[in-house]
Structure 1
């Protein structure tokens, strides 16, 4: 067998093994039961108002540019004080963190951001539901984040749509 044919055979076998690894008969992982950091949950629950941002997931530039949300282009935002609506979003976010079986993607393409003021501090959350990751900042200092699933995305989008805030292109799942 020629060297080129051997290489093709090895590559074919590697590809086959990779494909087999992607289709497993293993049962899905159980929910982790994780919680978002306590101080992050307190800030979101106790803040008198939330500002919800729609972000362009494709454009991250100057992190110091104040016209951006931690580097991400802002498509629009809305302030909302409706306690019931905020509680529903908060509950869906907490539930999704608990439901995540420990998955997180290597990507980060956030479409949502949250800003709240709590105890004289600014708390920001840059959220990528597609990638199962949220990055958190307190007074612009990055802190421990958390890993939601994509379940709350539609509820967050409904709030933005109701306020006539433009949404980015949906993820290509």
Structure 2
């Protein structure tokens, strides 16, 4: 009897969670995202953050994968932009693809540091699979630009991450 009750509760919970996930609609330009929570940040003094934690700053979510050499090789450029515009812009390196691979991601970043001396100082969010539901994409790098007014102003690839476009974004013209 206890097993049947437990199975019933588990089934109800699964159905409820599935219904919640199915309520998530992909976001696009001009949408206002919810207060996205990055539940697993590995390289900061904090382990969780949300969009509201970056209040007053524009945010660019940089979707990447540990298998994407283009993504990883762009980290120094992204870090330069972060450093230059730190008071008005926050990059978040989001890897929602590699669930459960924190050790492998850390090992990869350490190898990059050993070879190049570079280690990203921006927040690195892992395992946030909800981000894939809000911002579905087929390739990486993939960038979501969210204004300080919490509007999605652009969804781009790597070629659009330029000083000129960052300036336009910060000025509200992108």
For normalisation by structure 2, the TM-score amounts to 0.26
Instruction: Please tell me whether Structure 1 or Structure 2 has the larger radius of gyration of its CA atoms.
Output: 1
Structure with greater strand share of residues: 1
| Higher RCO (CA-CA < 8 Å; seq separation 6+) | 2
Structure with greater helix share of residues: 2
